[in-house]
Amino acid sequence: MNNQEKQPEQALHQHHLTQIILSFQESQAIITAAKLGIADLLKDGPKSVDELAQLCHAHPETLYRLLRALASIGIFKEEDHTVFSLTPLSHYLRSDVEGSVHSLALMVGDTKAWSAWGDLIEGIKQGEVVFDHKFKMSFYDYHTENPEFAKYFNQTMFNHTSLLTQHVLEVYDFSPFQTIVDVGGNHGYLLSSILQKYPASRGVLFDQPFVIEAVEKEHLKNNPFHDRINAVAGNFFESLPKNGDVYIFKHIIHGFHDEKARQILQNCRDVIGDGTLLIIENVLSNKNNHSFSAFMDLQMIVMSGGKERTEAEYQQLLEQAGFQMTRVIHTSSPVSIIEAVAK
């Protein structure tokens, strides 16, 4: 290949890299639209920019420029001049639909959460948790200090769970288990979905006291399976409920470095008996493949000090905590189910 033939290819690579570098602009534009509630305002049909600006207390001209930019990437559609409508993408920016990413946008756009990424280099150079280093508090302490952020985080976890639950139920048989313990189960969507499919089973929803308090006040009383769910408050660093036939950890273990993760799993080992452990997580794949999990691993460096792991790393972690991995079941979503029993 001569130099003239290389030039178009080089230009493509340069353009692609430039787009990646500037992709923060798209993220912030989406976050801004979420903060303004634009998708909710359009759920009943198209509206003009003037109408939208009045409803969300924005400047009409700059709001138009925001929506025009988002329409250029398929988020919103400009029907006529200055009149916009929803698209299949912006449908999920609504706050009231199943699978909504509205709370995710608000969580990512939180001032501290966003600015922590600007110090990623410190995490890479020093091996420290960026959020802890920058703000002198842990990501989890921030939840306590900022209830609004905690609300966005918990809603994001709930929405994410609602998307992946069906993928889990498609590939895993819970019929052998009478008592199912969902550790860190948030609002109980995964547990309720399992109980709906397996009417002979009962569930234990285990989470932090403030989560369980909200569950009992707002969610459990309206849950059709409330008579089969026992909501238990506690701390998985201290102990877990006894007498479960299966213990589910969905997106829990990845939030902690190996020492803390081992501590949680050892606490599970203390109570599991001859039961089954299920870890539902993104599992890192082969080198050089584009991977959602690989970038989630960077999120762990920035926010929590946890890590995404390969199958081999999970196997080693489980063995150190007294478990034997029995199988890994891949789903049609980014998550896999890691099954283990006590050694």
What positions carry a catalytic annotation? 254
For residue 263, give both structure tokens: 């501590």
Instruction: Give the count of beta carbons closer than 10 Å to the beta carbon of residue 119.
Output: 16
For residue 30, give both structure tokens: 């989406």
Q: Which residues of 140-160 are buried (b: 16+ CB within 10 A; e: fewer)?
A: eebbeebeebbebbbbbbbbb
Q: Which residue type does 253 have?
A: I
Instruction: Give the count of beta carbons closer than 10 Å to the beta carbon of residue 164.
Output: 18
For residue 336, give both structure tokens: 């896999």
Is 268 exposed, middle or buried, given 0-12, 13-18 or 19+ CB atoms closer than 10 A? Answer: buried
Task: State the DSSP code for 241.
Answer: -
* Element holding 181 (H helix, E strand): strand 179-183
Closest CA to 89 of 51, 34, 50, 25: 34
**What CA–CA distance (Å, rounded) separates 128 from 125?**
8
Question: In the sheet that 77-80 helps form, which strands lie side by side, from edge to edge?
Answer: 47-48, 83-85, 77-80
For residue 12, give both structure tokens: 């493509």
Half-sphere exposure of residue 291: CA atoms within 13 angstroms, side-chain side: 18
**What CA–CA distance (Å, rounded) separates 253 from 24?**
28
What residues have CB less than 8 Å from 149, skipping those under 6 apart?
107, 110, 112, 113, 142, 143
**What CA–CA distance (Å, rounded) separates 116 from 146?**
16
